[in-house]
């Protein structure tokens, strides 16, 4: 078992056999409200993870973002998460659907949140469509990552949504670096330019968007150093999880 990765939250430290929760270091500030599907998952008013609105009553995120000891609030329509913007909607979670195979480690790290009330869809809040089941994103394609996470490996966190691009990596290269922590069928990994930036602490559950569709959900990076370029960033592969996602939302 690799011991070089861990899960890190903004306001509490929590180790989980290796995965590090992630946000955007470097990159640029997103155009306000240009990504109306983005969700900020918060506990006691503090951002913990990202997520994406996939239906007016469902948000997709990482399973490790759940905290059974605290009540989660989903904030939609936000750009600056420390301001009370008129565009924001604060919605309670009615139910948590963690993938049944998730055991607290690396694999199957995905979760659906059923909202207590449906989101009011407008120009600030819109769901994003899911990819096709049999689709595949080739290596070296540049994809967008976005979130409210750390702007450097040592912090601080960003109050406004930031984004940058990372390139899809060949699965064999991911496996070579991450060994048993990487499942080629369930995960995607990306390479990144340290100057352009990438995901870091605080952005787990956020999307990897290729050709305007989400292809992955942010999972983990190298422990305490999201800027380490020889360790690719890892995402859950949405193509594999589509049957479970659709079945759960229909149920």
Q: 218 and 155 share a domain?
A: yes
What pLDDT is stored for residue 80 in this prediction?
96
232-247 average pLDDT score: 95
Q: 194 and 218 share a domain?
A: yes
1-5 average pLDDT score: 36
Residue 64 appears among annotated catalytic residues: yes
pLDDT greater than 80 at residue 35: yes
Residue 109 appears among annotated catalytic residues: yes
In a domain, 10, yes or no: no
Q: Cα separations (Å) of 157 from 98, 103, 174, 218?
A: 27, 28, 27, 17
Q: Catalytic one among 22, 47, 204, 239?
A: 204
In a domain, 105, yes or no: no
Q: 72 and 147 share a domain?
A: no
What is the distance, to the nearest Å, from the Cα of residue 101 to the centroid of all Cα atoms in its chain? Answer: 19
Split into its structural domains, the chain has a count of 2
Q: Which residue did the predictor score with more confidence, 225 or 181?
A: 181
Q: Catalytic one among 64, 79, 99, 186?
A: 64
- In tens, the pLDDT along 47-92 reads 999 999 999 999 999 999 998 788 999 999 999 999 999 999 999 9
How far apart CA 149 and CA 66 sit, in angstroms, is 17
Q: 160 and 177 share a domain?
A: yes
Q: Catalytic one among 109, 158, 181, 233?
A: 109
Residue 33 appears among annotated catalytic residues: no
- In tens, the pLDDT along 158-170 reads 899 999 999 999 9
Q: 172 and 222 share a domain?
A: yes
Q: 122 and 135 share a domain?
A: no
Q: 142 and 116 share a domain?
A: no
Q: 117 and 148 share a domain?
A: no
CA-nearest of 58, 35, 219, 245 to 133 is: 245
Q: 139 and 176 share a domain?
A: yes
- In tens, the pLDDT along 152-210 reads 666 677 899 999 999 999 999 999 999 999 999 999 999 988 778 888 877 899 999 99
- In tens, the pLDDT along 85-137 reads 999 999 999 999 999 999 988 999 999 999 999 999 999 999 999 998 766 78
- Is the bond into 156 cis (omega within 30 degrees of 0)? yes
Q: 197 and 219 share a domain?
A: yes
In a domain, 192, yes or no: yes
In a domain, 11, yes or no: no
Q: 183 and 246 share a domain?
A: no
What pLDDT is stored for residue 53 in this prediction?
98
Range of the domain at 208: 24-29+129-240
Q: 121 and 140 share a domain?
A: no
CATH number for the domain that contains residue 115: 2.40.10.10
In a domain, 133, yes or no: yes
In a domain, 13, yes or no: no
Strand partners, 40: 50, 75
In a domain, 185, yes or no: yes
């Amino acid at each position: 078992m690799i011991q070089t990765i861990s899960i890190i939250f903004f306001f509490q430290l929590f180790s989980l056999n290796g995965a590090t929760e992630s946000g955007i270091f470097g990159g640029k500030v997103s155009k306000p409200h240009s990504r109306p599907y983005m969700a900020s998952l918060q506990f006691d008013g503090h951002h913990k993870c990202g997520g994406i609105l996939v239906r007016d009553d469902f948000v997709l995120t990482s399973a490790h973002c759940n905290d059974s000891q605290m009540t989660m609030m989903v904030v939609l329509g936000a750009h600056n998460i420390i301001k009370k913007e008129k565009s924001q909607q604060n919605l309670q979670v009615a139910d948590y659907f963690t993938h049944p195979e998730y055991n607290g480690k690396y694999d199957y790290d995905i979760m659906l949140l059923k909202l207590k009330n449906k989101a009011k869809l407008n120009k600030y809040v819109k769901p994003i469509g899911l990819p096709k089941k049999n689709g595949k994103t080739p290596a070296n394609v540049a994809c967008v990552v976005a979130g409210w996470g750390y702007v450097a490996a040592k912090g601080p966190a960003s109050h406004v949504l930031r984004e940058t691009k990372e390139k899809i990596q060949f699965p064999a290269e991911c496996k070579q670096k991450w060994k048993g922590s990487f499942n080629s069928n369930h995960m995607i990994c990306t390479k990144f330019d340290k100057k352009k930036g990438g995901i870091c602490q605080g952005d787990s559950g956020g999307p990897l968007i290729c050709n305007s569709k989400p292809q992955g959900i942010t999972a983990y990076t190298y422990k305490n150093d999201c800027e380490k370029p020889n360790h690719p960033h890892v995402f859950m592969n949405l193509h594999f999880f589509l049957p479970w996602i659709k079945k759960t939302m229909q149920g």
